[in-house]
Amino acid sequence: MPKHIASGLKYLAAVKLKDAGESHQAIAEELGVDRSTISHYLNGRNLSWNSIDVARTIVDLSPRDFLKMTEAIFDEPEQSRKIVNICRERNFEVSIGDSCIGCGLCVNACTMKAIELESLKAHADSIQCCGCQLCSDECPTNSIKILEI
């Protein structure tokens, strides 16, 4: 079952990349599957509609649940990071306040690798942020604010 849902998520990602104008070859490389599979996906073959529905439901969950489900299904951080980044419909703006002490807990918490430490302060790349707020939960000084844009 998880494999089918994974395929469903990959399907959704492939469609999104296609809409963004990516070639089959580029999509195949990005998602780590072969080109013929992508062609099958995009032609609506080899995939049960049910698993696509489940995948859609997962994408529509709250950002944190979406991330956690995806991580559980793929069990491979790099892969789940890609799927979340491609499939998520929402964008976020992260601001890290001056009260940041540079402890790095957010860096560890962020699955999306959107946060880096520099000069004793955390800096977030909003483009990478999936909005899960795991970082702000960890932050000992409540310095991270995430807003949907």
Give residues in contact with other proteins (CB under 8 A): 98-105, 107-108, 119-121, 138, 140-141
Contacts of 29 (CB under 8 A, 6+ apart): none
Would you say 118 or 148 has its CB closer to other proteins?
Answer: 118
Least distance to other proteins from the beta carbon of 124, Å? 15
Would you say 5 or 114 has its CB closer to other proteins?
Answer: 114
Count the neighbouring beta carbons within 10 Å of the beta carbon of residue 44: 10
78, containing H or E segment: helix 77-87
Q: What is the CA radius of gyration of the chain?
A: 17
Least distance to other proteins from the beta carbon of 95, Å? 14
Would you say 120 or 149 has its CB closer to other proteins?
Answer: 120
